[in-house]
Structure 1
């Protein structure tokens, strides 16, 4: 047989020859999901970059059953499983894991207001977890020391569905990754953490444990490059940088405000956003600034819904900062001005985070932090790098070397983080509302909008 025949090709060569990388993943906010106009998720972005580095296309097989995901590798149906799998000793017997890209902990979750169990022996109710997960293995380990421990396993529900079952009290407890819980608590603050189960674990891609190491070697090389370039840190900050610290009281207060106050000002946010801003972002900024209180006032003299200074209001032609409409429209215009100052090489979503920091602290101070970041070898165009240096503007050693001097650099970091949380919730609530059917027509708002756009296209007349 010819030594160059197809049967002698390495796994990597076969992938390149067919021009396609086949990947199995789960549909979840921590891995792979579809937004209004694109796919997203940390696994999706990482595997997309890897496929691009190989110059091949991607084929996704989505399956929420962990055992079936692993079986696909054994059967040769997929090349990689990129599904937020934790590295466990049991899995390492059968799978070859790529370098870890993130660390998580497993959290036992219950509903806020219910009896708080302090350890596994205090569980009093139904505990349900995902079958074949690292949680079920951890529970088996705990069973030897806690014989009375009982739980059920499911292949029919996802972690997110189990969390919703906690809220509607169908079950009492579940166990999920800390990342998945962080993302869901923004929308459902009643989800409470009882305790951490087991030790911290690492997430990684999984591959077949075969003699061919060609694909595995390429994956190791890829992750080394992603870490060295700061791309891995950027992705983790993008998806989780604003959700790690949870404030139950603050989250509940914001949810209550969206129900009781937002409708009063929503039209103003929508009108002021025009076609170039997202009204939900403006609403999030306003809540961070004033908690949607028209007469809000800070010790430094900034006033109103968008907390404008007297000088800024004058510059924008705002006559009354306490008038909600004037304040909201003024804040929108000021944000546009700051956005224009953000260098063109800074891409979204970082562009927006930089602009928000400039809205809060002044663009000059943001530029100072960018220069410090550059001098320290960081990327001045990445919010994840610059937000680490902004607090240095409070230290004389650093601010004495800057153009604009001292600034409370920790404030814009907290400011942007909070707004990102509020914005995520507003987007989620807005999408939920658009998915509700009209009582009379049975059509959702989203469907009505699509139909209206299609109708407009059909009746559009091209001028001669």
Structure 2
């Protein structure tokens, strides 16, 4: 949830006219040492430090990704300079680079804490998180710090270590280990593997990881909610902070910040342990029966998205049937199946083929100005509730001052189509719009989990391939040695 207070600067911060901007925040004197932003503009590069992680920065199939990466890439565009990312594996390596001014700022989903405030300055806060004490499902559930009984480890120099130090004043028996050998995600995996009893995780990161590891359980929350912000050197002038204030104000007011938060976190706000476990089990046991067809008929779609849709529709039950008469893996209506040339909705191959064609048709209907991933989310909603109702919600969104081309805005209005005072003014009338928003959120969660499971599967296959290659090489070397020995013995 964004918490920025927008302070409009009336266009003073511009890429060309930054020299005399914001006299209240820094003095503007001719022929003096350039301020921080002027230096960045002169160099044409914004140097940003971050840390590797699922919510910060990582290399995906389409290049660099991550909430922090996209956020800071937008800031570089705002300044009109190139972005140069310096990712690190631990904070003890990252912080000295900022203090020595080798970096302009650090964007790594870091909390504002009293200890950090002694050494760094902060930009405007743009998220709130809480810190969760995590243990493995099925183990003894500690309700307070005094009930902790086992090993506890956190990342060194993290806000987690800092809050444990604060708690230790009231709980002197509290002990823990700090490490630079493992990041937050790895510590959570150690809890899953039984190598560690407890760790501490930020709520935003935990919400993403629990979609893949549902056995991670929250014992309790440590401390108050904390604000997330970018870090700057303590000795830097106010110009860069002023630019950040204007940038964050712009992306909050035009909806870009909310849309970015929705992209990375909007689908993981709610967690259901049983549903997640059932899906992971179905991926292992049922999906292999239909995977080839999902891949064959996905067309321009990601086959994993198509598979996630099918699971939401039918739980991969080829004979599924609803009270409204839709049937099959993709739960097609009889009329839609006939239009698509599908003879049997209960035939898994035909159902997948028809569902893929239909969702692609819906995507193609969406105005070209709407960008991905919103195009896909609109199409999924239309698959569930019909494009007419989605269009009604888009019109209602515009009337209420929202952006009709952003899913994050429209999904707030879809549930209003159940209320008479709203649907009586629409073209297509009443609709269970809340079900459409849940439908899209569920598919996004399944899709996210399936992508991770596939990445794990491919990594395991690659490891097996490398192992087999090493074994083959060792076998060949052994055979060559034996052959050479035999030849030498024969020659003797």
Tell me the TM-score normalized by structure 1. 0.92
Q: Answer whether contact 1:31 1:84 (CA < 8 A) is retained.
A: yes
Measured against aligned partners, the alpha-carbon deviations of 1:161-182 in whole angstroms (never above 9, x if no partner) come to 1011011111110001011111
Q: Answer whether contact 2:36 2:236 (CA < 8 A) is retained.
A: no
- Give the distance between the partners of 2:178 and 2:126, measured in 1 at CA: 27
Deviation of 1:68 (Å): 3.1
- Give the distance between the partners of 1:434 and 1:154, measured in 2 at CA: 29
- Give the distance between the partners of 1:133 and 1:324, measured in 2 at CA: 50
- 1:168-317 aligned at under 5 Å gives the runs 168-210=193-235, 212-274=237-299, 276-317=300-341
* 1:350 maps onto 2:378 in alignment: no
Deviation of 1:441 (Å): 5.0
Q: Answer whether contact 1:437 1:443 (CA < 8 A) is retained.
A: no
Q: Structure 1 pair 439/74, CA: closer, same or farther in 2 (3 Å)?
A: closer
Match of 2:124 in 1: 99
* 1:339 maps onto 2:363 in alignment: yes
- Give the distance between the partners of 1:57 and 1:135, measured in 2 at CA: 33
Deviation of 1:61 (Å): 1.4
* 1:137 maps onto 2:162 in alignment: yes
Quick check: which has more Rg, 1 or 2? 2
Size of the alignment, in residue pairs? 441
Match of 2:438 in 1: 414
In structure 1, list runs of 5 or more residues that go unmatched: 445-464
What SS does the corresponding residue of 2:342 show, helix, strand or coil? coil
User: More deviation in 60-69 or 433-442?
Assistant: 433-442
Deviation of 1:256 (Å): 0.5
- 1:47-196 aligned at under 5 Å gives the runs 47-196=72-221
- Give the distance between the partners of 2:344 and 2:86, measured in 1 at CA: 57
- Give the distance between the partners of 1:434 and 1:66, measured in 2 at CA: 30
Deviation of 1:363 (Å): 0.3
In structure 2, list runs of 5 or more residues that go unmatched: 1-28, 469-492
Ranked by relative contact order (alpha carbons within 8 Å, sequence separation 6 or more), the top structure is 2
- Give the distance between the partners of 1:279 and 1:53, measured in 2 at CA: 35
Tell me the TM-score normalized by structure 2. 0.87
Match of 1:318 in 2: 342
Q: Answer whether contact 2:52 2:87 (CA < 8 A) is retained.
A: yes
- 1:22-41 aligned at under 5 Å gives the runs 22-41=47-66
Deviation of 1:90 (Å): 2.0
- Give the distance between the partners of 1:443 and 1:364, measured in 2 at CA: 54
* 1:392 maps onto 2:416 in alignment: yes
Deviation of 1:46 (Å): 1.1
Measured against aligned partners, the alpha-carbon deviations of 1:21-49 in whole angstroms (never above 9, x if no partner) come to 11110111111111012111111111111
Q: Answer whether contact 1:101 1:203 (CA < 8 A) is retained.
A: yes
Q: Answer whether contact 1:24 1:69 (CA < 8 A) is retained.
A: yes
- Give the distance between the partners of 1:59 and 1:367, measured in 2 at CA: 41
What SS does the corresponding residue of 2:308 show, helix, strand or coil? helix
- Give the distance between the partners of 2:188 and 2:457, measured in 1 at CA: 21
What SS does the corresponding residue of 2:230 show, helix, strand or coil? strand
Q: Which of 405, 413, 423 does residue 447 from structure 2 map onto? A: 423
Measured against aligned partners, the alpha-carbon deviations of 1:179-235 in whole angstroms (never above 9, x if no partner) come to 111111111111111111111111100112226211111111111111111111111
Measured against aligned partners, the alpha-carbon deviations of 1:401-420 in whole angstroms (never above 9, x if no partner) come to 00000000100100000001
